[in-house]
């Protein structure tokens, strides 16, 4: 079972209000997810977008995650194993930022066969542009607050 995931995060201020958007595609089935948080960072939103999509999968899959976040791709493909081996400190001997999210991604990577694909952001990639739109709409919805009846 091969699934495509597209994800993006956005932040209004960094830190600031952040939003994330994801698209899951399996064959002809497409599902969009999005959300927002108060005081957060762009990197956390990039990671949260991927996590939310991966957590939405109901069984182990081969997954192609496409993102414009080099932080996310390099973290998962180049840095994670070293951080774990060194006790969650980076090359500067400082605690790894966003460890809670990296650990969630690590657990998800143990469940799924994940291929991490980087694309240049804001460069016309249809699904990446849609994820950015979802993330920005989530920020605006968060700022407006709950509506009547919520």
User: Catalytic residue among 39, 78, 122, 140, which?
Assistant: 122
Known catalytic membership, residue 150: no
User: CB–CB of 108/56 below 8 Å?
Assistant: no
Q: What is the CATH number of domain 2-144?
A: 3.30.420.10
Tokens of 2: 């091969």
Helix axes 99-111, 42-55, angle to 10 degrees: 30
Q: Is 46 annotated as a binding residue?
A: yes
User: Catalytic residue among 46, 75, 112, 127, which?
Assistant: 46
Q: What is the pTM of this model?
A: 0.95
Q: How far is CA 148 from CA 54, 133, 142, in A?
A: 32, 24, 14
Known catalytic membership, residue 68: yes
Known catalytic membership, residue 122: yes
Known catalytic membership, residue 132: yes
Distance (Å, whole) CA 134 – CA 35: 8
User: Catalytic residue among 4, 37, 68, 127, which?
Assistant: 68
Specify the DSSP class assigned to residue 75.
Answer: I
Q: What string of pLDDT tens digits covers the 150 residues of the chain?
A: 799 999 999 999 999 999 999 999 999 999 999 999 999 999 999 999 999 999 999 999 999 999 999 999 999 999 999 999 999 999 999 999 999 999 999 999 999 999 999 999 999 999 999 999 999 999 999 999 876 766
Tokens of 18: 């952040």
Known catalytic membership, residue 9: yes
User: CB–CB of 88/95 below 8 Å?
Assistant: yes
């Amino acid at each position: 079972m091969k699934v495509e995931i597209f994800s993006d995060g956005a932040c209004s201020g960094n830190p600031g209000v952040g939003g994330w958007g994801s698209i899951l595609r399996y064959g002809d089935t497409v599902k969009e997810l999005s959300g927002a948080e108060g005081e957060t960072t762009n990197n956390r939103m990039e990671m949260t977008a991927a996590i939310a999509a991966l957590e939405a999968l109901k069984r182990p899959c081969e997954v192609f995650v496409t993102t414009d976040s080099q932080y996310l791709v390099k973290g998962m493909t180049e840095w994670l194993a070293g951080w774990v081996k060194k006790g969650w400190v980076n090359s500067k001997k400082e605690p790894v930022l966003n460890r809670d999210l990296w650990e969630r991604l690590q657990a998800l990577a143990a469940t799924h066969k994940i291929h991490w694909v980087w694309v240049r952001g804001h460069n016309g990639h249809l699904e990446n542009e849609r994820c950015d739109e979802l993330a920005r709409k989530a920020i605006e919805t968060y700022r407006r607050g709950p509506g009547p009846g919520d």
